[in-house]
Amino acid sequence: MIMDADGPWTAAARLVVDREQTGQEHGVTDDGVTLCGLSANLIDVYRHPFNGRGRADCRTCTRRLYEAAGLAGKEPPPDAWVRPLLRWTAWVTNGADAVRVTDALRHLLTGRAITAVRYADLDYEGEHPYWHEGDRDTVGHGLELDLDDGATWSVIWEQQEDSAGLGIWTEPLMPNHLQFARIWNVTRHWRRRGPRTISQIETFWWPERSQGDGGPSSALSLGGLVLHDFDRDRRAIVVIDERFDVRMYFSPRGARRDGYFTDNYVGL
């Protein structure tokens, strides 16, 4: 068992019969048995840590992990898996983590009404909305969404070395992520064309390339986000383009015409 700033954790295991890796995770001790007593014959050991915050973490293992760490009664609530996954959403190391990030977004945003929308663009020192490009909107930084629960969510392009993707944050873009930007209030624009309530979320990921031999790797970047409003038959399609601008489409036809959501994407 290891203790760090986020609490105790240990190795994780999944049921061996669960080939799709969608079942329950268990904490594993140094001698290879689970904290809850599940037989070692029924599990496979994975490298991912077990900390009681996972979507499918065994609650009995969580309780006993915290008891062993001297933190009895302080174990995280069942949905504590959600927000830690959104600290860094622009890219993940494997497909299983992409599923977890998508689950977290759906858990937090599905059913929420959008009360205001803002674009964060480069400051061209003019009154002309350069972001408006006919059937698509393009901004240099990202967008902010105010929701009916009082929260502000933001989407911005992120880059780290050769990895780039859409980062999603539970806070405004300025001043934590941007120092200089032109903020446009586009709430009326979205009310005419975009979703007002988030009925469903889709995510689209594209594969990263390994830095060693140039071949494919298991890492994925978040390249597209779709917010559906089934009541009004509307959607907002948010993507990152080749120049690392953020584009918004309100029709799948326009996005596909520009080359998005091809066979290179993995949709969840």
Q: What is the pTM of this model?
A: 0.75
Please compute the mean of the pLDDT values over residues 102-113 and round it to a whole number.
92
Q: What is the pLDDT of residues 109-120, one digit of tens each?
A: 999 999 999 999
C-alpha separations of 263 from 119, 237, 256, 267 in Å: 29, 17, 11, 10
Please compute the mean of the pLDDT values over residues 16-27 and round it to a whole number.
66
pLDDT of residue 187: 97
Q: Which segments of the chain does DSSP mark as H helices, in order?
A: 59-68, 95-109, 187-193, 252-257
Range of the domain at 213: 86-267
- Residues 42 and 92 both lie in one domain: no
Of the ranges 47-56, 109-118, 204-213, which is most confident?
Answer: 109-118
Q: What is the pLDDT of residues 223-241, one digit of tens each?
A: 999 999 999 999 999 999 8
Does residue 21 come out as left (phi exceeding 0), alpha (psi in the -120 to 50 range) or beta? Answer: left
- Residues 67 and 133 both lie in one domain: no
Q: Work out the pLDDT band at 17, boundaries 50, 70, 90.
A: low
pLDDT of residue 138: 95
- Residues 171 and 205 both lie in one domain: yes
Which of 45, 80, 115 is where one domain is finished? 80
